[in-house]
Structures are given as structure tokens and as C-alpha cells.
Amino acid sequence: MSLLQLVYASRPFGFDGAMLNAILFDARRCNTRDGITGALICRDDLFLQLLEGPEAAVEAAYGRILRDDRHVEVRALSRRVLPDDGRMFGAWAMRDDPADSLIWSREDVAAGVPEAAGEAAVLAMFERLAATPAG
């Protein structure tokens, strides 16, 4: 069976610590149930999330995100099929990173750099995060 890996970006609406904790709690609960793993790079002007798992489950999770009013301007940046052993975040129902690894400035994000960066650059950011021990 192959897996789907999907990366999207959105702009948080009403971002604060409580909202982020609620998103992470929901994601970890649903992802564990649905066999999805991934990571969320976040700060008050950007959510950048990678989801990987069974295609139907990833598409359903993305559908929930599209309807979630905590996300504004949701746009897919990458969508690819992976082999069964191709998960980048296999041990994480949802790893979070407070944008410590993020290379884009707020001005870059506002100017649309996440979309213009291309799939390889976005995936490289997640590969660096996957290689970094959680702290």
C-alpha cells in the first residue's frame, strides 16, 4: 500500500497558545486514530503542515482543515505518493515546531514565498525538522 504525503500552508486566525494547543490535541487524537503522522511548523502568521498516511485519511484530514475557521487562506503546496516505508515523521502523530526551523521572514510569508519556494524547498525544511531531535 502506498501513502499520501500532503503539505499545505495557511494563515492562522486568532492565533494564541490556547488555540495552538487545541489544534495539536485534536490533530494528535485524530491522526492516531486514522494512521496519519506529520509535523506542524507554526507561528502567528503561518501554519505549514505535513501530513502523511493512507490517502483517504489524509484527504479527510485536509478536508477538515479546509473547513476549520482557525485556518485562513489554506493552500496545498505539495502532494505526492510515498512507499510504505517513506514516512518522514513515522514516530509522530503530530510533531510541532514553533517556527524555530523556519527560514522565511514575516515579510517573505506576506509576499507569498511559501508558494513560490517550490516543493523541494518546502520538503527540505521538513527534512531538516525530522532530523532534529525534539526538544
Burial (0-12, 13-18, 19+ Cβ within 10 Å), 126: buried
Convert the pLDDT of each residue in 27-42 to its tens digit. Answer: 999 999 999 999 998 8
Q: Over range 79-94, report the average pLDDT.
A: 91
Rounded to 5 degrees, φ, ψ at 107 are -65, -40
What are the pLDDT digits (tens) for 44-66? 889 999 999 999 999 999 999 99
Domain boundaries, the chain: 3-131
For domain 3-131, the CATH class is alpha beta
pTM of the model: 0.91
The proportion of the chain whose per-residue pLDDT surpasses 90, expressed as a percent, equals: 53
